[in-house]
């Protein structure tokens, strides 16, 4: 299943057009969760009601975003410093909507407050139907390694009966399988590993089903998928320039172009152009890297 980019509750209730656009989902994406965040109970509840009208399968509450402009204002992971308010928001949203409500959060605010084992039970008592846990504290941001030990403790707590979704450093098919086998989670959530590599989900599914990646994409197939991402963004935003800008992060991060000698100038040209025909011409002329480096 997929989650939308998270949506600001405050912006949603103020009818900010760019924020409302994030509620647009396609039936091809289902099952899909729309994720919202905020710091005030009334605002998040109203935003949840608005979100319900977009007809997602799930409404997800983000209590895990660590960035300063979110957590520093008391939303996202900032609510790990105000657990009573986090629980109040959760209870009130569950009561206000008919859709399943889920939560994503972190282990705690810092190393001295890893409260997730207790917090998981409290959130479950609020009526959520699944919990996603990122294996870092807010203070860690995205540094260091994700600690899955506590995620496993939550999953193996006999008092927990809702699905537990593990998140953090799930970057390869092998790692995804290890997380299922070693920690017993019901699902794994993949975020940054998909940036520039949307086929990672197919690889993981194949590895879980067959024990190996059955259909390895060729370099040309990888380039075709990246080009399709750009086209989809252009169509979604109904603007060539904005669609390309929206896709640049994926083009810059893709492992498909790593290990290509003397690639710096090509990357700069690729990220500067604002015309589809120019961008696709650059991508089409990127030479295939050495075979042994292609799938690292």
What pLDDT, on the 0 to 100 scale, is given for residue 262? Answer: 86
Q: Can you state the angle between helices 173-183 and 200-210, rounded to 10 degrees?
A: 50
What pLDDT, on the 0 to 100 scale, is given for residue 294? Answer: 46
Q: Which residues face 114 on adjacent strands?
A: 108
Q: Using one digit for the tens of pLDDT, what is the confidence trace for 108-131?
A: 999 899 999 999 999 999 999 999
Distance between CA atoms of residues 164 and 261, nearest Å: 43
Question: 31 preceded by cis ω (within 30°)?
Answer: yes
Whether the Cβ atoms of residue 253 and residue 289 lie closer than 8 Å to each other:
no
Of the candidates 65, 126, 179, 259, the residue annotated as catalytic is 65
pLDDT at 24 over 90: no
| Torsion sign over Cα 208, 212, 214, 215 | positive
SS3 71: helix
Q: Helices (DSSP H) in 97-239: which residue ranges?
A: 116-125, 149-155, 173-183, 200-210, 219-237
Q: Concatenated DSSP letters for 29-42? A: G-SEEEEEE-SSHH
Q: Using one digit for the tens of pLDDT, what is the confidence trace for 36-61?
A: 999 999 999 999 999 999 999 999 99
For residue 113, give the nearest of 136, 87, 84 by alpha carbon: 136
Q: Is 259 a catalytic residue?
A: no
For residue 76, give the nearest of 42, 48, 35 by alpha carbon: 35
pTM above threshold 0.85: yes
């Amino acid at each position: 299943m997929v989650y939308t980019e998270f949506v600001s509750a405050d912006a949603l209730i103020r009818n900010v057009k760019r924020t409302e656009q994030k509620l647009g989902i396609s039936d091809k994406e289902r099952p899909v969760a729309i994720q919202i965040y905020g710091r005030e109970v009334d605002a998040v509840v109203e935003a949840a009601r608005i979100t319900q009208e977009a007809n997602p399968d799930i409404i997800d509450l983000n209590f895990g975003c660590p960035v300063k402009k979110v957590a520093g204002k008391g939303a996202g992971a900032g609510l790990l410093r105000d657990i009573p308010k986090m629980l109040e928001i959760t209870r009130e949203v569950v009561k206000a909507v008919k859709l399943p409500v889920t939560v994503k959060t972190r282990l705690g605010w810092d190393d001295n407050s890893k409260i997730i084992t207790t917090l998981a039970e409290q959130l479950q008592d609020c009526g959520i139907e699944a919990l996603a846990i990122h294996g870092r504290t807010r203070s860690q941001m995205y540094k260091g390694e994700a600690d899955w030990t506590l995620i496993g403790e939550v999953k193996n707590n006999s008092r927990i009966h809702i699905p537990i979704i593990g998140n953090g450093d799930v970057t390869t098919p092998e790692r995804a399988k290890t997380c299922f086998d070693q920690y017993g989670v019901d699902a794994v959530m993949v975020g940054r590993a998909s940036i520039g590599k949307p086929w990672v989900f197919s690889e993981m599914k194949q590895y879980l089903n067959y024990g190996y990646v059955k259909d390895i994409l060729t370099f040309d197939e990888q380039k075709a998928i990246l080009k399709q991402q750009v086209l989809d963004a252009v169509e979604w935003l109904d603007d060539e320039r904005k669609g390309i800008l929206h896709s640049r992060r994926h083009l810059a991060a893709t492992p498909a172009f790593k290990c290509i000698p003397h690639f710096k100038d090509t990357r700069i040209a690729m990220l500067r152009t604002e015309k589809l025909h120019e961008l696709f011409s650059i991508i089409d002329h990127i030479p295939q890297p050495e075979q042994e480096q292609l799938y690292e």
